[in-house]
């Protein structure tokens, strides 16, 4: 008999957007052109801040460490259409002329009902479905799957066993309360992996400690498969001029 799917409650749509700066063309541009690009970029950030203040979405910006990208945005919006609207507006901006696509990921904030206690009317649950993203010092993003091969097939496990494994997972996670904030986004049908994992930390080392500790939970040890990892440091609007000065 087929295993029973878990119901999910879903919130805002998410776009993780990673860009690489074309420093060569940035350096070749005139000072006026660069200033125009910076001003336009900052006014887009201001517009997104207004959306966030009105609780109609949220966003963060991080500077990626390593060569995978330079900038890492995460956007949350009530609809997928708003995500393409903001992406298109950004792509048309002067600053985007100096950016190369590095990676993107489309998903939706998801809570699964393994414990059966999440009600979409509960203000605590609403806070997780429609969150204002934390502006903590470090962010980590990676996509993942639950294995579906041979004896390790998550989708063939019965509900009770999956709920037990997720309960064990949540116990490990809860040890990091106040240290790491996690956002799980579902991407089955939207992107190449099944979930996106976004973590925020004040101390970068705690990202490694949590992800390592979880490797020993049965759910991760037996079923976890991972894509690329991106890690970054927060880039504030005030720091943009310095960051882009050449």
- Least CB distance from residue 136 to ligand VOV, whole Å? 12
Torsion of CA 182, 185, 186, 187, to 10 degrees: -130
Q: Is 144 annotated as a binding residue?
A: yes
CA distances from 218 to 101, 134, 161, 224, 239 (A): 36, 29, 11, 9, 42
Of the candidate spans 27-35, 85-93, 165-173, 235-243, the one that interacts with ligand VOV by CB under 6 A turns out to be 165-173
Q: What's the token pair of residue 5?
A: 């799917």
Q: Is 12 in the site for ligand VOV (CB under 6 A)?
A: no
Identify the residue among 26, 136, 190, 195 touching ligand VOV (CB under 6 A).
195
Q: Is 164 in the site for ligand VOV (CB under 6 A)?
A: no
- What's the gap between Cα 25 and its chain centre? 29
Q: Which is nearer to ligand VOV, 167 or 243 (CB)?
A: 167
CA distances from 6 to 39, 54, 170 (A): 46, 32, 16
Q: Is 173 in the site for ligand VOV (CB under 6 A)?
A: yes
Q: What's the token pair of residue 167?
A: 């309960």
Identify the residue among 7, 81, 170, 236 touching ligand VOV (CB under 6 A).
170
Q: Is 231 in the site for ligand VOV (CB under 6 A)?
A: no
Name the residue among 107, 108, 133, 128 with its Cα closest to residue 118.
128
Query: Looking at the DSSP assignment, which residues form a beta bridge with residue 184?
Result: 197
Mark whether 142 is an active-site residue: yes
Identify the residue among 20, 35, 63, 182 touching ligand VOV (CB under 6 A).
182
Q: Is 166 in the site for ligand VOV (CB under 6 A)?
A: yes
Task: Spell out the alpha helix ranges (H) of the chain.
Answer: 23-28, 31-53, 80-92, 123-129, 159-174, 204-214, 218-223, 240-244
Phi/psi at 179 (nearest 5 deg)? -105, -45
Identify the residue among 21, 38, 125, 214 touching ligand VOV (CB under 6 A).
214
Hey, which residues between 97 and 116 contact ligand VOV (CB under 6 A)? 111-112, 114
Q: Is 19 annotated as a binding residue?
A: no
Q: Is 176 in the site for ligand VOV (CB under 6 A)?
A: yes
- Least CB distance from residue 157 to ligand VOV, whole Å? 10
For residues 41 and 87, give the distance between their C-alpha atoms in angstroms, rounded to a whole number. 13
24 Cβ neighbours under 8 A, 6+ residues apart: none
Which parts are annotated binding residues for Fe-coproporphyrin III? 128, 142-146, 169, 182
**Under the rule (CB under 6 A), what is the footprint of ligand VOV?**
6, 111-112, 114, 144, 166, 169-170, 173-174, 176, 180, 182, 184, 195, 197, 199, 210-211, 214, 220, 224
Which residues are catalytic, by number?
142
């Amino acid at each position: 008999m087929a295993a029973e799917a878990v119901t999910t409650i879903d919130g805002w749509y998410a776009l993780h957007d990673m860009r690489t700066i074309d420093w060569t063309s940035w350096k070749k541009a005139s000072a006026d052109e660069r200033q125009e690009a910076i001003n336009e970029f900052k006014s887009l950030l201001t517009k997104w801040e207004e959306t966030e203040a009105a609780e109609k979405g949220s966003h963060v910006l991080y500077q990626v460490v390593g060569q995978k990208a330079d900038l890492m945005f995460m956007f949350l919006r009530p609809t997928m259409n708003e995500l393409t609207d903001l992406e298109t507006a950004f792509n048309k901006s002067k600053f985007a002329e100096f950016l190369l696509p590095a990676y993107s990921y489309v998903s939706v904030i998801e809570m699964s009902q393994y414990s059966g206690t999440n009600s979409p009317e509960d203000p605590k649950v609403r806070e997780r479905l429609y969150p204002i993203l934390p502006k903590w010092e470090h962010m980590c993003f990676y996509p993942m799957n639950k294995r579906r091969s041979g004896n390790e097939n998550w989708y063939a496990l019965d509900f009770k066993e999956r709920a037990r494994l997720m309960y064990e997972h949540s116990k490990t996670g809860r040890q990091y309360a106040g240290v790491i904030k996690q956002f799980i986004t579902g991407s089955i049908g939207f992107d190449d992996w099944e979930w996106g994992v976004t973590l925020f930390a004040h101390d970068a080392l705690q990202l490694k400690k949590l992800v390592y500790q979880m490797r020993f939970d049965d759910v991760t040890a037996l079923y976890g498969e991972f894509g690329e990892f991106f890690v970054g440091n927060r880039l504030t609007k005030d720091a943009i001029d310095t960051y882009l000065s050449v």
